[in-house]
């Protein structure tokens, strides 16, 4: 019997049948719809599907990055959404994947496409480009209370790092965490970082904000990712990926007027993970989960987010095989890239291996941290 919707609190499984990424570079010399068309056409081709097979497309992008109003009007046709059900989310692509999976799990559609695209329209480079992205981050904060004091994503990361340093964490420990993650990424085809480093190198890198250096921040890059999802019944008739999403969850963190975002940065991740595990029927995450690809924007958030996922006891070689955001952080496309990392690992693992994919929307940094968690199983 084919399940639609949920049964006893468990989500109906959703198959991943196609996935494609562009290369990740500091900036693509391409229009947004060119990037989207490239990945969607290749992801559909991997599953031997055509545009008319798509029941829903969900795109993760943001007008202010794209440099035009209603920018989804440009990418909608490229994503297969023309004359189809489609919408855009101004959030991380993990949210787009979750929304597409929910539509299939509920029985509304058989095939859905989730797209994440990130290629900010700016002529700035280097430090000026970072300042441009920080200005966009500042605009996302409350205009009356938070924006005048200069809050940005990096400022919240610096505040959280300062808070961690006052609560039994040493700066050398954070530098070592960052170095380990960077070194994992060196040599990986999706990474934009090329050189191995030590903890001392991390500490001596160019200052970023407060105690943070540039090597403690995510490695920004640009690109696009498309994920094609299908119901198990439809997937049985398709070629392509051999993985199933068995659970998914989402949570949003506290706002700037509270203190949760500073003192309990893992709150939204904990909520998202609890929902995803319940949907997947997982009761003891530390025993039932084999692999993890998760997003820690700074080293000070690494252990709190790992603990929020209930996986702080997982062996180090099972966590972030390619360094996660230390190797590549493609903005709103991050959630889909983390899923791509997990699928690559599942391709090499035994059947029934279970992975968790975690992502966060970092437009406002640690504040209002929007977190998604997917439970993915190889088949």
How confident is the model over 143-163, as pLDDT tens digits? 888 999 999 999 999 999 999
The verdict on residue 87 lying in a domain is yes
Q: How many domains does the chain have?
A: 1
Cα 272 to chain center, whole Å? 13
- Which pair of tokens denotes residue 33? 């719809």
The verdict on residue 298 lying in a domain is no
Minimal CA–CA distance to 346: which of 379, 311, 368?
379
Name 286's Cβ contacts closer than 8 Å, sequence gap at least 6: 310, 311, 313, 314
Domain that holds residue 23: 6-122+221-235
How confident is the model over 197-226, as pLDDT tens digits? 999 999 999 999 999 999 999 999 999 999
How confident is the model over 57-78, as pLDDT tens digits? 999 999 999 998 999 999 999 9
**What is the domain-level CATH number for residue 96?**
3.40.47.10
The verdict on residue 349 lying in a domain is no
Report d(CA 10, CA 280) in Å as an integer. 6
How confident is the model over 326-362, as pLDDT tens digits? 999 999 999 999 999 999 999 999 999 999 999 999 8
According to the model, what pLDDT value does residue 1 have? 27
Minimal CA–CA distance to 84: which of 50, 60, 118, 61?
50
pLDDT at 2 over 70: no
The verdict on residue 62 lying in a domain is yes
According to the model, what pLDDT value does residue 241 have? 83
The verdict on residue 30 lying in a domain is yes
55, 111 Cβ separation under 8 angstroms: yes
Express the helix, strand and coil content of the chain in percent, nearest 5 each: 40, 20, 40
The verdict on residue 88 lying in a domain is yes
368, 99 Cβ separation under 8 angstroms: no
The verdict on residue 110 lying in a domain is yes
The verdict on residue 254 lying in a domain is no
According to the model, what pLDDT value does residue 9 have? 57
Minimal CA–CA distance to 202: which of 211, 292, 60?
211
Strands 243-252 and 10-11: unpaired
């Amino acid at each position: 019997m084919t399940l639609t919707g949920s049964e006893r609190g468990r989500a109906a499984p959703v198959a991943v049948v196609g996935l494609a990424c562009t290369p990740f570079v500091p900036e693509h010399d391409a229009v947004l719809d060119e990037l989207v068309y490239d990945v969607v056409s290749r992801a559909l081709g991997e599953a031997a599907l055509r545009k008319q097979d798509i029941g829903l497309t969900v795109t993760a992008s943001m007008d202010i990055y794209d440099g035009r109003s209603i920018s989804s009007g440009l990418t909608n046709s490229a994503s297969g959404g023309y004359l189809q059900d489609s919408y855009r989310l101004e959030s991380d692509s993990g949210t787009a994947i979750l929304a597409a999976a929910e539509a299939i799990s509920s029985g509304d559609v058989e095939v859905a496409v989730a797209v994440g695209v990130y290629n900010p329209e700016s002529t700035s480079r280097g430090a000026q480009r970072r300042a441009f992205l920080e200005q966009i981050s500042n605009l996302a904060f409350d205009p009356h209370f938070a924006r005048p004091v200069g809050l940005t994503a990096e400022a919240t990361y610096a505040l959280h790092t300062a808070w961690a340093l006052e609560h039994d964490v040493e700066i050398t420990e954070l530098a070592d965490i960052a170095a380990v993650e960077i070194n994992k990424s060196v040599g990986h085809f999706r990474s934009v970082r090329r050189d191995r480093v030590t903890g001392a190198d991390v500490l001596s890198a160019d200052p970023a904000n407060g105690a943070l250096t540039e090597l403690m921040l995510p490695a920004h890059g640009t690109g696009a990712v498309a994920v094609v999802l299908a119901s198990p019944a439809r997937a049985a008739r398709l070629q392509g990926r051999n993985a199933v999403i068995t659970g998914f969850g989402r949570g949003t963190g506290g706002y700037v007027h509270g203190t949760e975002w500073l003192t309990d940065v893992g709150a939204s991740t904990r909520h998202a993970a609890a929902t995803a595990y319940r949907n997947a029927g997982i009761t003891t995450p530390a025993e039932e989960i084999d692999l993890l690809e998760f997003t820690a924007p700074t080293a000070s958030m690494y252990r709190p987010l790992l603990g929020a996922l209930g996986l702080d006891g997982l062996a180090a070689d099972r966590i972030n095989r390619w360094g996660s955001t230390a190797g590549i952080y493609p903005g709103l496309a991050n959630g889909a890239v983390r899923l791509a990392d997990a699928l690559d690992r599942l391709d090499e693992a035994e059947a029934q291996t279970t992975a968790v994919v975690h992502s966060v929307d970092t437009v406002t940094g640690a504040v209002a941290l929007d977190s998604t968690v997917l439970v993915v199983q190889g088949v």
